[in-house]
Amino acid sequence: MEIYWYLTAPDGHQPWAASGSRQVNYAYFQQVARAVDHLGFTGALLATGAHDPWILGASLIPYTERMKFLIAIQPGLISPTLLAKMAVTFNQFSKGRVLLNVVSGDKNTLGAYGMHLDHDARYDLSDEFLQVLRPLLNQENVSFKGEHLDIENARLALSNGGYPPPPLWFGGSSEAAQEVAAKHIDTYLSWGETPPQAAEKIAQVRARADKHLRQLRYGIRLYVIVRETDELAWQAVDALYASMDDSAIAARQHLARGSDSVGQSRMSALHNDQKPADPRELEIYPGLWAGIGLVRPGPGTAIVGSPETVERTLRAYQQAGVEVFILSGFPLLEEAYRFSELVMPRLSLTTPDDAAKNTFTWGNLWDRPVRSGDPAQ
């Protein structure tokens, strides 16, 4: 099992409300990155958001030693050749710590960048983009002519510096998205669905990958609200829920209006844009709460409960086929510490060094984790 954290604004105790938002600047990102680095997370997702993920990630390399940077990339907004050059440069400078999360996006967000392709055409573009990107990352020469891309004699002057080429990650619930993943991707991601739903989707993608003679890993993006007991965790939910007023819910609905994202529609179906009187009515699976989707776009579910409950839910996903978890809480910094102290000692986790595949052991939780075979032991 691998656990990633999140490194993208906005943040705060209730970031959908002005009174609950926190100033997110470079100094704060350094704090969160240092926490991810020394608490034992495999890495962090740098998603599409207010800050450019490439600049943010590159600027944090000197402040980290172990964490991997899962950086969002968007086909159509950048040349695959230029993207490959950026990724290999990052891979050299970070000593092999970059991962690429391919985001095909939706028409709402991409229109602002001048890209106006319909849903399936965006995935056709992603398919072509990855046919160029992957061999370039493997230091191969590429010429390609498709409907969207026309690449002549592309090659990189750089190598990966002796490190493996950056792996490719990808999410998307539609049939078109699943087919692109099956053909090209190393790790397929889902948004906060229940373990049975995740198992169903994983089976679909795995069947497609089998046709291409490929094997993928599977991951999921979730929030987590963990406290010492289940009762305290649900009290934390109550506090969050109380801050989700009509204006916050309307703002999220405005962002999602007109979206052609299948994943977003699946998330919205979990709560139907309705705020019941009792937040427990949005518990869609034992220990899984869909209320965050009322005020946040994208993945809208949270694992809620004591360390034992959170572990049990993570294990349910693991049994469904999930190997990688991208988690976050409000605020990012404090909840990274809380999760690392309450839950991570209960899990068998690999280190950020994928090649070594060592397992963390836990002593003083305020110090960095000690790896098996580490001279510091």
Whole-number pLDDT of residue 348: 79
Encode pLDDT of 330-339 as tens digits. 999 999 999 9
Summarize pLDDT for 340-359 with one digit per residue, the tens.
999 999 997 765 554 444 33
Q: Specify the residue for token string 């299948």.
A: 262
Q: Mean pLDDT of all residues in the chain?
A: 89
Identify the structural domains of the chain with CATH numbers, from first to last. Answer: 2-223+307-346 (3.20.20.30)
Q: Does the global pTM surpass 0.85?
A: yes
Which string of DSSP letters, residue by residue, matches 81-118?
HHHHHHHHHHHHHTTS-EEEEE----HHHHGGGT----
What is the CB-side half-sphere exposure of residue 29 using CA atoms within 13 A? 23
Query: Average of pLDDT values for 296-316?
Result: 94
Does 100 score more than 60 pLDDT? yes
**Which residues, 6 or more positions from 122, have their beta carbon under 8 angstroms from its beta carbon?**
75, 76, 104, 105, 110
In this structure, the number of other CB atoms found within 10 A of the CB of residue 55 comes to 10
Mapping DSSP to helix (H, G, I), strand (E, B) and coil, where does residue 221 land? strand
Report the candidate in 210, 207, 223, 194 with the shortest Cα–Cα distance to residue 299. 223
266: confidence class by pLDDT, cuts 50, 70, 90 = low
